[in-house]
Structure 1
Amino acid sequence: MGSSAIDTVRILELLPAPVFTMDELGYLGSWNRSAEQLYGYTANEAIGQHVLFLYATGTEDGQFVGMEEFFQIDGHAVFRVLHRNKSGATFPAELTLAILRHGDRDGVQFVATVTVLPLLQTAESDLLKLHASIIANSDQGILITDGNERIVSVNAAFSRITGYTQQEAVGQSTDILRSGVHDANFREQVRKALLGSGPWQGEIIGKRKNGELFPQSVSISVVRGESGTITHAFSIFSDISVLRASEQRMQQLVNYDSLTGLPNRTLLAQLLGQALATARRNNACCVVLALELSRFSSIKETLGNDVADELLRQVGQRWRTALRDEDVLARVGDTEFIVALLSIQKREHSGIVSQKLLNVLDPPFVIDGNPIHISARIGIAVYPDDGQDTASLLHCADVAVKRLQAEAISSYLFYSPEMNQRAKEQWQLEAELRQALSSGGLMLYYQPKVSLRSGRIVGAEALLRWRHPQHGMISPAKFIPVAEQTGLILDLGNWVLDEACRQIRDWMDRGAHMPPVAINLSARQFDRQLPAKIQSVLDHHGVPTDRLKLEITESLLMRDPDTVIPIMNELVAMGLALAMDDFGTGYSSLSNLKRFPITTLKIDRSFVVGVPNDINDCAIARAIVTMALQLRQEIVAEGIETAEQMVFLRNLGCDQLQGFFFSPAVDAIRFEEMVRNGERLQVHAYS
């Protein structure tokens, strides 16, 4: 600094008025004691700062006039401004600017003399305060930069969002906020905005003082002086990280299964739709696999919901690891998954993938110390052979897996048109069966049980019949499997229970002394609520428990004895008699047979049809009867159609017969006539 410059600084220091100097860009070069007293900033704190750090507002009245504009006003000007001291208090002031030259033009400085004005409660000053308050209290970050993109002013929200205080930010380049993560055209677009092409708005990734990156919504605009020249730029921005996190959570809820974290049906449809569009353009192949877990409901009933949920999660994890990254695995139902093979060379390869998915289920899952074995069935549909769109492929894969379900096979199966036709027939049958259930198209027939000692009718089995309005009587062998697959069997079972009790009550009201009626219980009916449901129906119709018997299949009893036996005990405690139906077709053990509170064993017809000529059937029938006698249980042989069968089983020690040899199942009116007329089988006529 030359001697003239030093003299000038000394002179300014002695002036009683607040005075400071600044260069043509607005950065302070000197600061006298009066300025220190007025603003509260020491010379060390003020020198080097931009003059706008003294301003309480970013309005055009508070902007620094650049050198080009100042020369146009002949080197001297007076401005009214609103300044702010170190403590934050604002005050109106008159700023007198003059040019102080030192040699050439590059050494030009401005000298500013500050005169504090009285606080006039004018509309202009109120508006100025309002502007300052809005900026200071805005929840959006605001920063003002000069022509060199250096920060000259920030608000409190800026500091809260970025972590930089006003003192740390002012004078710094805006590069301190840049993350380097942005669109390739971002810098060019912002540059155009700074050159006056118009405001820029968008979303970018910013960087806080601690290095954390965050998404922000930004608006960048410029400020022009009276001559139209751009003097400053300002940015208004918001931290939208919370909004983006909420959007991501919403996307997770909408597109992903909450239990397994796998894509759900919605996202699957999007991904598969996009893949099919690509396959059409490239004449490529796509495959959809429908995966259905077997025995899951029994696992859930036995081990509980928590174990079942964890099993589903682990199954999803195993299947995911068995697939390629580009393959899609989605969960679309309770036990239903879909795999989309979006890039596959030949349809036959999908069979290899299917077998791989089946194989990874072979090792048991160990959950809460319980080893759990589970298997699956897989239906396969191929684009473009089986379907041209997402809905068609999913439908065809589902048809294939339902075919495996009907055959109780844990394997994989490719779709075929014939399979689809059978499925359509089943769906039609299901719809018509539901209609029959609601419109009175169902009825109960009663097949007599006859004593092999007296020949008299001693009971009956209630059998469900369906009279179709167009096709006549539909065989139970045709509609019962459909009801089992669709879950309609539960409604049918409830209807049979109610109708049987209604008929028993009707016979009682008319004084008909009818024998007990037995009804069959399905596996779906056999749960903890069953005793209460039966008691409710009995009470509703006023039927004594000794008028109703329950027949339970052997396979149901063997599936989970520890769960079934307490329910059976509760039914027996109510006064109900239990029979084991289809005995010999399951895998009963003697230890379990002793535990079951049953009074009757019914020999399955498959072991009756061959006697007395088939040696094996005769041996099985003899073993069953011998065991039942030892257990002191009543023995009923069903499916007897000939006198020879009747004689053989009577001689073995069977108590009752049931079959066409005496009577087929008949309607309620005919069965009542048979009982009233004392119709009987002349068992002693056959010897």
Structure 2
Amino acid sequence: MQQGSRLPIVLKIGFVIFVVEGLIMAGLAAIDISNARLAALADAALLTLVSSYWICQWVIRPYVQERDQAEDDLVRYTAEMENLRLASLVIDDGGDAVAVASPDGTLIAINTGFNRLTGYTADEIVRRKQHMFNTGSHSAAFYKSLWHTVSVTGKWQGEMWLPHRGGTIFPAWVSVTSLYNSDRSAHRRLIRVSDVTSGKKAQELKWRHANFDHITGLPNRFMFLDRLQWSLKQARQLERPLTLILVDIDQFHHVNEMHGLAVGDQLLKAVGERLVAAVGATDTVARLGEDGYGLILGELKDAASREQLAQSLLEKLAEPYELDGAIFKLTASIGVSVYPDDGANVHCLLKVATQAREDAKEMGGNALVGSFKDKEVLETESLAKFLAS
């Protein structure tokens, strides 16, 4: 409560009585009172004012003091309830580390499990104003994406590298859940952390880092080549075609130079999402390099289907991207190769698709190059040319 509101009402009333009494005395002094009755009335008025003052002291003042005390008790009760709420949130639960953060992610309370896992005490956490969502162990784009998800959906879970008080970092599985006020504004972020340094989760984490791109979540080049080899083997056994598509985003380095790596990473993720949405569930979409993607498609049985899909990819990637209110436009260069028409092994298929993609770039980008005629059609056209020569 503010100090100004603690000024007792009785003092204010007393001050008013004092002023009124002074005015009455001054008025009576200015008038030649010869009438005893008028003097008696003045005395009665003064007596009434003085009596009112003491009534305020004896009756109203205790009430005001009681009201002030009740307000103080309410403030203390609210603070105690908040402390109890925090304590209940960070209570030990199965050995997991638990922390409570403010809506912006600043840690404000931890349990003993969090202390054991990170080495930081509760006092150190509060004093350092440690921010859970920006520990410095990941890229700016990673934290921005994480925070955006928490702000929009109220939750997030995934793998993070967290700092230890000893100066090292360690892998952890982090789960964030938001608690809301009655008006749906964020009140607290409840954070649970599990150490995955050892055990099955650690193995899964190590495998994922080795096989998946950390920005887009797509398979990386290593996983892509492994799947291409396996898919080619399946295509041979089933005697069916296999389509390989290589995609490069045109002039993507300009995006990083003009808008920064964080924006570039978000666009790379958005491109990957569009590619995944455009193909089948059994197909593979991978990120192969800075601005390159690879697709392995096993369900396209004829040239018309391949050309139609490749053209739709070109159109979908050229649609505007909206990030934080800003609009971005991208185009792509696409190269296509097909087993068995363009080669019988991984090396040949990659070579043909790579050359086709480079040809699309030389055409100015926003283009696709590939053989979109079935083998029988090509053989017929070749024979016709030979006979006509």
Confirm or deny a common fold (TM above 0.5).
no
Instruction: Tell which has more relative contact order, 1 or 2 (C-alpha 8 A, sep 6+).
Output: 2
TM-score with structure 2 length normalisation?
Answer: 0.44
TM-score with structure 1 length normalisation?
Answer: 0.25
Larger Rg: 1
